[in-house]
Structure 1
């Protein structure tokens, strides 16, 4: 089995995101080699998604989704994310509208406070600015939940906390 086949097999079989560094260590190559392999696999049609915690296979989503417009500054990012998760949501992505590039989407795939904790650690460790900082805090999230009632409760909680853009 060649290395690219091992990469796709490991990502597919993993129950959690796999980082390029972890795959590189496991396969005895550099991180950049794995990044290149993943790029080639994606180009050949494999549905590999890069998330802040590593690579995952894009499987059909379960539940009902809604795209919600919100606005806040970076200091409220963790509060907003936790609010969505605590109400029963799964945060698929963040989307901003850029004047030059059009729609920019960042895959998040956050389903627990632990995922958010790891995401925020990465943001802080890399001193990264949020995509929403490009648009004065305005952004969209695609959120999945088990029912429209849960999505409605999430939207109401975002409104109560001053995050919902109306």
Structure 2
């Protein structure tokens, strides 16, 4: 893409989609804006339009990510219930990613708004650290603070054993909610 040349409309969205599909890492809105020579707000609007066309794009704390990437098979998925203090978030996420699990999101049941879900999309310690730094730098609260620590995570992995190992590690740490209560 030549410097200064702006890509317009549908061609730009096709270009952005191509970039996302070929990247194994999230791409920030600012990076996409620079490549397409448009503002970040234009990128936000383009992502909304692409999502409306059912493109599996999610916005993570690290940038935009296309979810159906060739060669990436994370066919095992499970929702788990956890409860812990904000001080234990880092340990919880490390336990999950250290066992080969991707933490896709966090979900709470709010008394007024109902289910609130936020994308996390972390699969290694570096991504966990970046996520936690973003929380700290923006002074944002964890969703679980609204529910006294109770929350759900959608987790995925390449195999069922990784999920079982992650659950066992969370249980040993006292983070899993006992299903019998």
Distance 2:135 2:41 in 1: 21
Write the deviation string for residues 59-111 of structure 1: whole angstroms up to 9, x where unpaired.
28523222111011211111100011112222121111112222111122211
Kindly indicate whether residue 70 of structure 2 is the aligned counterpart of residue 58 of structure 1: no
Counterpart of 1:146 in structure 2 is 158
Distance 1:14 1:157 in 2: 31
Give 3-state SS (helix, strand or coil) of 2:104's partner: strand
- For structure 1, which segment, 41-50 or 109-118, has the greater mean C-alpha deviation from structure 2 after superposition? 41-50
Counterpart of 1:23 in structure 2 is 32
Give 3-state SS (helix, strand or coil) of 2:139's partner: coil
- CA drift at 1:51: 0.9
Give 3-state SS (helix, strand or coil) of 1:59's partner: coil
Counterpart of 1:92 in structure 2 is 104
Counterpart of 2:114 in structure 1 is 102
Distance 1:12 1:152 in 2: 30
8 Å Cα contact 2:74/2:159 also seen in 1: no
Distance 1:35 1:3 in 2: 13
- CA drift at 1:58: 2.0
Identify which of 12, 15, 20 aligns with 1:11. 20
Identify which of 44, 48, 60 aligns with 1:39. 48
Using structure 2 for the length normalisation, give the TM-score: 0.85
Q: Which runs of 5+ in 1 are unaligned?
A: none
Distance 2:94 2:20 in 1: 27
Q: How many residues align?
A: 166
Q: Which runs of 5+ in 2 are unaligned?
A: 1-6
Aligned Cα root-mean-square deviation (Å): 1.6
Distance 1:163 1:139 in 2: 10
